[in-house]
C-alpha cells in the first residue's frame, strides 16, 4: 500500500513539474513558456542522446532580452536556478546544453571539454544547417530535435551499411562453415540412430517369432512323451527323453535371454550403441531358440527312425485261389 501511494505521489509530482521542468535520469528539459509543445519529441531525442552517456540539458525561453549577451545571461540564470551549472561556460560532468530564445532570435549549443574533439568543428554547422531552418519557421520543437539528433550522430556516427553487409557476409560464411558440417553430422547421426533402431526392432521381432513358434512345438513334444515308452520300449524312450530334455533346456535359455533383452531395452537409452547392444541380446535369444529347434528336430528324427525300424514288415504274398 505504501509503495502504491508513493508511486501515485511521484506521478502527481511529475504532472505538476512537466510544464516547467521535465527531467529523466540525465535528461533535463526546461521549457517554462511551452515552446516545445508537450515536449514529447524533445524528451525522446534527448533520451536517445543520453543513452550515449551525455547529460542532456534543453532550455527554451521565449523572451531572453534584446541581445545574444542578454540571452546567454538568461540561460545562465536558468542553469543556476535548476542547480545544473554555474553558467554555460562552466558546465559540469558530461553536459551538453541546447538553448533557444525566439527573442532575440538566438540558439546555441554548449558542451564540456570532453566533447571538444568531436563537436568543436561541427556544432556551429549543426546550429546553422540543422536547427536554424526549423527555428526560423517557429518550429522550436523540431529545431531542437534536429540539433540533438545531429549531435548524437556526430558523437557516435551510425555504422555504414557497407559494414553491415560485409559483417552479414562474414556471419553467413561462418554459419555456413560451421553450420553445414554440423547439420551433416546431425543428419548422419540421425541416420545412424535410425538404422540401429531398425536393426534392433527386426532382431526383437525375429527372436519373438522364433520363440513363439517353438513354444507350440515344445508343447506338442511334451504331449507325445508319455506314449514313447509304450510305443518304442524303455531303452528307446529314455533316448528320446534325454534328447528332448536337452532341447527344453536350450529353449528355457532362449526364453531367459529374451526376457533379459526386454529388461535391458526398457532401461537403455536411445543411442546407436544402446540399440546395438540390446539388439545383440535379442540375436542371442534367437540363436538359442534356433538351436533348441534343431535339437527338437533331432528328437522328431529319432522317433521317425524308430517308427521305420519297428514298423510292420511286408513279406512275400501268394495269390488267393
37-64: pLDDT as tens digits? 999 999 999 999 999 999 999 999 999 9
pLDDT confidence of residue 42: 97
Does residue 321 sit in helix, strand or coil? coil
CA 32/CA 27 separation, integer angstroms:
16
Which DSSP state fits 64?
Answer: -
Tell if the pTM clears 0.75, that is, is over it.
no
CA 30/CA 82 separation, integer angstroms:
9
Residues 131 and 143 sit within 8 Å (Cβ to Cβ): yes
pLDDT confidence of residue 163: 64
Strands (E), 4-54: 21-24, 27-30
Residues pairing with 7 in the sheet: none
pLDDT confidence of residue 313: 44
pLDDT tens digit sequence for 269-302: 789 999 999 899 999 999 999 998 999 899 889 8
Residue ranges for the chain with pLDDT beneath 50: 1-2, 5, 8-9, 11-24, 312-315, 317, 321
pLDDT confidence of residue 311: 53
Residues 6+ apart with CB under 8 A from 117: none
CA 172/CA 277 separation, integer angstroms:
41
Domains of the chain: 11-155 (3.10.310.50), 168-309 (no CATH)
Angstrom CA distances, 312 to 112, 236, 308, 309, 315, stand at 128, 18, 9, 9, 10
Distance of CA 127 to the CA centre of its chain: 48
Amino acid at each position: 500500500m505504501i509503495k502504491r501511494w508513493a508511486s501515485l505521489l511521484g506521478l502527481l509530482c511529475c504532472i505538476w513539474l512537466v510544464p516547467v521542468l521535465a527531467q529523466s535520469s540525465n535528461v533535463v528539459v526546461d521549457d517554462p513558456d511551452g515552446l516545445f509543445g508537450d515536449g514529447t519529441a524533445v524528451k525522446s531525442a534527448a533520451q536517445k542522446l543520453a543513452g550515449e552517456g551525455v547529460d542532456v540539458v534543453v532550455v527554451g525561453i521565449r523572451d531572453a532580452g534584446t541581445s545574444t549577451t542578454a540571452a546567454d545571461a538568461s540561460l545562465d540564470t536558468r542553469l543556476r536556478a535548476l542547480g545544473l551549472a554555474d553558467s554555460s561556460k562552466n558546465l559540469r560532468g558530461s553536459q551538453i546544453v541546447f538553448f533557444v530564445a525566439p527573442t532575440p532570435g538566438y540558439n546555441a549549443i554548449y558542451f564540456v571539454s570532453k566533447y571538444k574533439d568531436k563537436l568543436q568543428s561541427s556544432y556551429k554547422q549543426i546550429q546553422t544547417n540543422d536547427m536554424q531552418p526549423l527555428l526560423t519557421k517557429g518550429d522550436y520543437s523540431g529545431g531542437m530535435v534536429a540539433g540533438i539528433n545531429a549531435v548524437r550522430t556526430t558523437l557516435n556516427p551510425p555504422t555504414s551499411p557497407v559494414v553491415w553487409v560485409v559483417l552479414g557476409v562474414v556471419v553467413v560464411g561462418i554459419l555456413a562453415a560451421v553450420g553445414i558440417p554440423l547439420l551433416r553430422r546431425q543428419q548422419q547421426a540421425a541416420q545412424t540412430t535410425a538404422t540401429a533402431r531398425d536393426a534392433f526392432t527386426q532382431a526383437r521381432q525375429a527372436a519373438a517369432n522364433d520363440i513363439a513358434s517353438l513354444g507350440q512345438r515344445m508343447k506338442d513334444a511334451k504331449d507325445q512323451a508319455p506314449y514313447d515308452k509304450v510305443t518304442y520300449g524303455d531303452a528307446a524312450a529314455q533316448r528320446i527323453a534325454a534328447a528332448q530334455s536337452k532341447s527344453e533346456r536350450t529353449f528355457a535359455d532362449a526364453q531367459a535371454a529374451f526376457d533379459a533383452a526386454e529388461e535391458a531395452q526398457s532401461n537403455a537409452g536411445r543411442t546407436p550403441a544402446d540399440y546395438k547392444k540390446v539388439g545383440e541380446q535379442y540375436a542371442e535369444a534367437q540363436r538359442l531358440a534356433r538351436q533348441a529347434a534343431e535339437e527338437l528336430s533331432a528328437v522328431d528324427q529319432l522317433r521317425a527312425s524308430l517308427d521305420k525300424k519297428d514298423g510292420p514288415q511286408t513279406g512275400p504274398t501268394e495269390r488267393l485261389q
